[in-house]
Amino acid sequence: MSRHPAPEELLLDYAAGNLPEGPALVVALHVALDPAARQTVDGLSALGGALLDGETVSEGGFDDAALEATLAKLGAAPVEPKPQPVTPRPGFEWAPAPLLPYLDPKAKWKKKLGGFEEIRLNRRSDAHRLSLLRLEPGKGLPPHHHTANEYTVVLQGGYTDNTGNYGVGDFAVGPGLHEHEPIADPGPPCIAVIVVEEPIVMTSFWGRVFNPFLRWGWM
């Protein structure tokens, strides 16, 4: 079970098919790696189906007893073991199935400012920036904050910042205007998918110099 689950409202929107492509991908990866999140989404989907079928609606509105019975299925359903990872190609054994359609078969890691590596993910219909990031142990992203939504899910290794420690399957919501500096934990390289709605704002001296290039999409 994840120490940092996705917010319930995101899981609800995901189950209802209401998320844009970028956030939907990162929630799908969280669900693929966290049995408890998958159980929640399955239960919400079942609840949605019951509502559509009218099982919880009476002539006067919602049938409270039926609604509570449907919700109870969430807690009663056993947590199934997570599925075995699918291997798209050597070097990407950690990649869960929902990530595969977004990986270019020829994708290679590219070194970025700050010492981390990135693979930009394909997207079809969304303005969010979708990226795979890889941090070697002890390395981090430059100190920065966010002006819009940011969602992250860890696929390998882990990292720590001022909001906590995150391991495989954990879901992080960007801390907004509060500065943070994720640092990869000891062990294997930290690999995560990050989805951002707007470019990050770096807060160090040199970061502020490069911020215009981020806004213009040159970095």
The predicted structure's pLDDT at residue 95: 93
Residues 6 or more apart whose CB falls under 8 angstroms from that of 217 comprise 199
- Separation of alpha carbons 94 and 89, rounded Å: 10
* Region 161-171 average pLDDT: 92
The residue-averaged pLDDT of 191-212 equals: 63
Q: What is the pLDDT of residue 109?
A: 93
**26-50 per-residue burial string, b: 16 or more CB within 10 A, e: under 16:** bbbbbbbbbbebbbbbbbbebbeeb
Mean pLDDT of 120-140: 85
Q: Tell me the mean pLDDT in the region 17-25.
A: 92
Query: Per residue in 24-56, pLDDT tens?
Result: 999 999 999 999 999 999 888 877 665 555 554
Nearest to 71 by CA among 39, 28, 31: 39
Q: What is the pLDDT of residue 68?
A: 58
Neighbouring C-alpha atoms within 13 Å toward the C-beta of 190: 28
Burial (CB count within 10 angstroms: exposed 0-12, middle 13-18, buried 19+), residue 180: buried
The stretch 12-17 carries a mean pLDDT of 92
pLDDT for 152 beyond 80: yes
Q: What is the DSSP letter of 125?
A: S
Cβ–Cβ under 8 Å, residues 53 and 66: no
pLDDT at 119 (0 to 100):
94
Q: What is the pLDDT of residue 23?
A: 92
- 20: how many CB neighbours lie within 10 A of its CB? 16
- All domains of the chain, ordered by start, with CATH? 8-76 (no CATH), 97-215 (2.60.120.10)
What's the pLDDT band for 63 if we cut at 50, 70, 90?
low
pLDDT, tens only, 90-102: 788 899 999 998 9
Average pLDDT of the chain, as a whole number:
77
The larger pLDDT score, comparing residue 70 to residue 46, is at: 46
Burial zone of 104 (CB within 10 Å; 0-12 exposed, 13-18 middle, 19+ buried): exposed
